[in-house]
Structure 1
Amino acid sequence: MKGSRSSKTMKFLNFLLLLQYVPRVLPIFRLCHERKKATKKPCTWVKSFFNFFLYILASHVIGALWYFFAIQRETVCWQYACRSEKGCEPKTFSCDDPSPRNIIVLNDLCPIKPSHATFFDFGIFKDAIQSGVLQSTDFAEKFLYCFWWGLLNLSSFGQNLETSTYTWENLFAVFISIIGLLLFLYLIGNLQQTYMQLSTTTSEKLRRKMKMKGLEVELWLSENGLPKTM
C-alpha cells in the first residue's frame, strides 16, 4: 500500500475481505445439508445451536467490517484535510515516507472525538471514532464493542443507522439490513420446522403408545375369557 495508489489498493482489499468469507460460509451450509440427509431425526439442540451460531458469526463479521471501514474513513478524512495544508501531501500517510511531520490541521478537521461533523461526515462510523476503540490496544475491548455494534444493528435490521452520502457506506448499511432480514426469516423458518417435527414426533409416540395399550387390553381380555366389548 505504497504511493498514490494506496486508496485503490485499499478498495481492492475491501473486496477481498468480503470475498474470503464466501469459502468459509459455504462449507457450513454444506455440512448442515449433509447432516440433514444422513440423519432422519436430527437432534433438536444441535439444530438450535447451529442456527444461533450463524447469527453470532454474522454479528462478528458485521462488527469487524465496521471497524475496518471506520479506519479507512478516518484516513480519507486525513487526506481531504491534507489538501488544504501546505507541506502535506498524500504520501505523508504512506509507509514509505519516513520524514516526521506535525500536521495540526488534522486535529481541527478530523478530531478523534468530534462533537458534530462539519468538515467531514463520518456517518455510521462516527461511533467507532468517538468511542476511541480505534486507538485502543486492548483486543477484548475492540472485539466486544464491535461485536455488540454488529449484533445491535443486525437485530434491528439497521434501522438506527444514520449514514452520510458516501456511496459505499450506504451500500454497507443496505447489506446489514438485508442480512439481518434474511437471517431472521431463516431462523423463524427453522424454528417453525423444528416445532412441527417435535409436534409430529410427540403425536406419533402417543399414537403408538395407545396402540400398544389397546393390544395389551385385548390380550388380557382373551386370556381371561372376557368379551372384547368390555
Structure 2
Amino acid sequence: MFVLAGHVVGSCWYLFGLQRVNQCLQDACSNLSCRKFIDCGDGHNIDKFQNMLDWQDWINDSSSTDCFNSQGHFSYGIYSQAVLLSTRGSIITRYLYSLFWGFQQISTLAGNQVPSYFEGEVLFTMAIVGLGLLLFALLIGNMQNFLQALGRRKLEMQLRRRDVEQWMSHRRLPEGLRRQVRQAERFSWAATRGVNEEELLENLPEDLQRDIRRHFFKFLKKVRLFTLMDEPIIDAMCEKLKQKFYIRGSDIFYQRGPVEKMVFIVRGKVQSIGVDGNTASLSEGDVCGEELLTWYLENSSVHKDGGKIRFPGHRLFSTRTVKCLTNVEAFALRAADLEEVTVLFARFLRNPRVQGAIRYESPYWRNIAAIRIQVAWKYRQMRLKRG
C-alpha cells in the first residue's frame, strides 16, 4: 500500500506540475497568435513554426521563458521541482524522482511543503496529509495487533510453564525428570506455537479436513508400504494419526515392552537396537512399530456378520529398543485405531505385495529373518558334524 500510494502521489505531482507550467505559458501569451505554440500537437511540423515571424517573438519573450524558472514571477508552490524536472533528465530520472517525492511526502505528511494560494494545490497537499495519516494509522494498527498477538502467545507460554513448574513441585519430581519435562515442553511449544491442530481442524468442513490432512501427511508417500495403498486407506489412516514429540534420549519402544502404536517419523533421527545388538538408523519418512500391522492381520479374524473376534490377553511385545538420537517430531497411529483400519481394509492389507513390502522395509522383520537364518545355519552345521 505504501509503494502504491507513493506511485500515485508522485505521478499526480508531476502531472499537476506540468499543468501549472501550461497555465503559466497561457498567462504569458500577450496575443492570440502565440497560443498556437502551446499544446498545439504539431511537434512534427516544428520547421513550419520556426519560419513564422511570431516564433522569434515567442521564444525571446521574457515572461514566457520565465515560466521554466522555479524562482520566476509565477508561484509554483510545491511544484517548483517538477518545473525543473520537466526540462531536463531522461524518463527514468523523472520517474524515479517523482516516486521519491511521493514517498517523501507520505512519510513526512507533506510537512516540508508550502503550497501556493492556488486552490487545487492546497487541496492536493491536504490529500497527501490525509493519505499519509491513513497509512500511518494502518501501520500502527497492524503493529499493535502483531505485538498483542506476540504478547498473548508469550503470556500463554509463561502461564503454561508456571503450571508445569507447580505441578512438578507438587509431585516432587527429581531434578533429572524436571529437566526432561522442561525440554519436552520447550520443544513441543516451538513445534506447534501453542496451537491445538486437532481442535482447529474439527471446526472445518470434512472435505477441507481431508485435503489438509493429505497435505500434512505427504510424507506417507515416502514410505514404500503406502505407495501400494489406495487413497481410501491412506485417508482412513490420516484421520487417526496423532502428532507426537520426543526429546533426545527418549525411548519410543523398549525391549519386552508392549507395542501399542505405529510411529511415522517426520523430523529427527532415531536408532533401533535389536536384542542381539544390531542397530538400524531411522530418519524422516521411516516407520517403527510396523510389526503391529502384521500382528493384527495374523492374530485376528472376522465374524460372518462383520464383527471382530478378539483374543483376550494377546499383546505384541517389542524385541528392540527404539531410542531418539535428536528431538523427534512424529505422528502416531494407536493400536485401537490401527485395529479399526485392519478390519475395514483387511482384504487389501492381506495382499502378498503389501505383506512383502512390510517385511522388506521393516528393521523388525529383517532382524527376525536374520535370527531365523542364523538358527537354520547352526542346525545345518550340527547335522553336518553328526553325519
Q: TM-score range by the shorter chain?
A: 0.5 to 0.7
CA distance in 2, matches of 1:165, 1:179: 21
**1:4-44 deviations in whole A, cap 9, x for unaligned?**
xxxxxxxxxxxxxxxxxxxxxxxxxxxxxxxxxxxxxxxxx
Counterpart of 1:111 in structure 2 is 66
Counterpart of 2:220 in structure 1 is none
Counterpart of 2:79 in structure 1 is 125
CA distance in 2, matches of 1:135, 1:158: 24
Higher relative contact order (CA 8 A, sep 6+): 1
| Percent identity over paired residues | 29
Deviation at 1:209, TM superposition (A): 3.2
Q: Contact 1:123/1:164 (CA < 8 Å) preserved in 2?
A: yes
**1:137-157 deviations in whole A, cap 9, x for unaligned?**
523322221122112222221
Deviation at 1:191, TM superposition (A): 1.3
Counterpart of 1:144 in structure 2 is 96
Higher helix share: 1
CA distance in 1, matches of 2:61, 2:4: 36
Counterpart of 1:158 in structure 2 is 110
After superposition, residues 79-228 of structure 1 pair within 5 angstroms as: 79-82=26-29, 84-85=30-31, 87-90=33-36, 92-95=38-41, 98=45, 99-101=48-50, 102=55, 103-104=58-59, 108-111=63-66, 113-114=68-69, 116-118=71-73, 120-130=74-84, 133-216=85-168, 221=173
Which of 9, 13, 16 pairs up with 1:69? 16
Give the secondary structure class of the aligned counterpart of 2:109.
Answer: coil
Unaligned runs of 5+ in 2: 175-387
Give the secondary structure class of the aligned counterpart of 2:86.
Answer: coil
Q: Contact 1:157/1:180 (CA < 8 Å) preserved in 2?
A: yes
Aligned length: 165
Higher strand share: 2
CA distance in 1, matches of 2:125, 2:143: 27
CA distance in 1, matches of 2:6, 2:41: 32
Q: Contact 1:122/1:164 (CA < 8 Å) preserved in 2?
A: yes
**1:32-59 deviations in whole A, cap 9, x for unaligned?**
xxxxxxxxxxxxxxxxxxxxxx223212
CA distance in 1, matches of 2:130, 2:31: 41
CA distance in 1, matches of 2:88, 2:172: 78
Deviation at 1:200, TM superposition (A): 0.7
Give the secondary structure class of the aligned counterpart of 1:89.
Answer: helix
Q: Contact 1:164/1:170 (CA < 8 Å) preserved in 2?
A: yes
Give the secondary structure class of the aligned counterpart of 1:117.
Answer: coil
Give the secondary structure class of the aligned counterpart of 1:161.
Answer: coil
Q: Contact 1:123/1:163 (CA < 8 Å) preserved in 2?
A: yes
Say which one has the larger Rg: 2
Q: Contact 2:109/2:132 (CA < 8 Å) preserved in 1?
A: yes
Instruction: Tell me how large the CA RMSD over aligned residues is.
Output: 2.7
Counterpart of 2:309 in structure 1 is none
What is the identity, as a one-letter code, of the residue corresponding to 1:123? G
Question: Compared with structure 1, are the counterparts of its residues 158 and 110 closer, same or farther at alpha carbon in structure 2 (3 Å cutoff)?
Answer: farther
CA distance in 2, matches of 1:92, 1:109: 11
Q: Contact 1:124/1:163 (CA < 8 Å) preserved in 2?
A: yes
Unaligned runs of 5+ in 1: 1-53, 223-230
